[in-house]
Structure 1
Amino acid sequence: MTVNELAVRLQVAPTTVSLLVGDLSRKGILERCEGEADRHRRIIGIAADQQPAITAWLARVRPHGAKRRPLTPDQRQLFVDTLLAYEAAVGGEEHG
């Protein structure tokens, strides 16, 4: 996905996603690569060498049958609030 696609899906500002992707890219967890159809488009993905560890972690933290279950409204709000707090802390902005 692109940063904008992730932002829409997570319901946060593209700036927030860009900051998170930057941090995770520097740590070698995510990578940005050129889109096949448009070389200016940057696609975000899990780094190949990190994929097995992330897959194993997800298998441990998600109970069977929960893989496709959406977040509850409260869980979704907590996730969005966490991302907004991260954006505020890193970007120096206040959110309320």
Structure 2
Amino acid sequence: MSDHRLLGSDLAADPGFLLARARAVTSGAANARLAPLGLKVRQLSVLWLACQDPGPSQRELSEFLGLDPSQVVALVDELQRRGLVERRAGERDRRSRIIVATADGVRLLDRGLAAVRAAGDASFANLTDRERKTLTELLTKVAFG
């Protein structure tokens, strides 16, 4: 654990602050590992979900990732420009846009996942496997109720 003089502050004991700081630390490490692939965590998240079958709609991406729809549009636009995803009409609602990974997108996802997993291993190195599992369970409760 860090030997920072402010670690004993009330702020350092606030769960919201700790979540935000942990996100900044882990996202920063993951973004650094993703940089050689021309990706950032948010782009990888969209690509990862686009590899699901069936792919998500833009609305589902927005809701699940907790992003404004305009942010999702920009992320999908960039991934589509790079040939990593396609927008397709939804089967049930032709007005809905389903995001589907291309073959190039699937290949890049594999490399991206290896990069973020390596970053995660480094970020969570101080935790046991059991602590990581518990942390994941607790964060899931916070994030999705």
Q: TM-score, normalised by structure 2?
A: 0.40
Aligned partner of 2:85 in structure 1 is: 30
* Partner deviation per Cα, 1:19-66 (whole Å, 9 max, x = no partner): 111121111122111112222221012222320231233134315888
Cα distance in 1 for partners of 2:106, 2:67 equals 25
SS in 1 for 2:98: strand
1 or 2, which has the higher helix percentage? 2
Q: Give 2:74's aligned amino acid.
A: L
Can you give the 5+ residue segments of structure 2 that lack an aligned partner in the other structure? 1-55, 122-128
Rg larger for:
2
Can you give the 5+ residue segments of structure 1 that lack an aligned partner in the other structure? 77-96
Identity of aligned residues (%): 36
Aligned partner of 1:4 in structure 2 is: 59
Aligned partner of 1:84 in structure 2 is: none
Cα distance in 2 for partners of 1:21, 1:56 equals 19
Give the number of aligned pairs.
Answer: 72
Pairwise CA RMSD:
3.1
Q: Give 2:100's aligned amino acid.
A: G
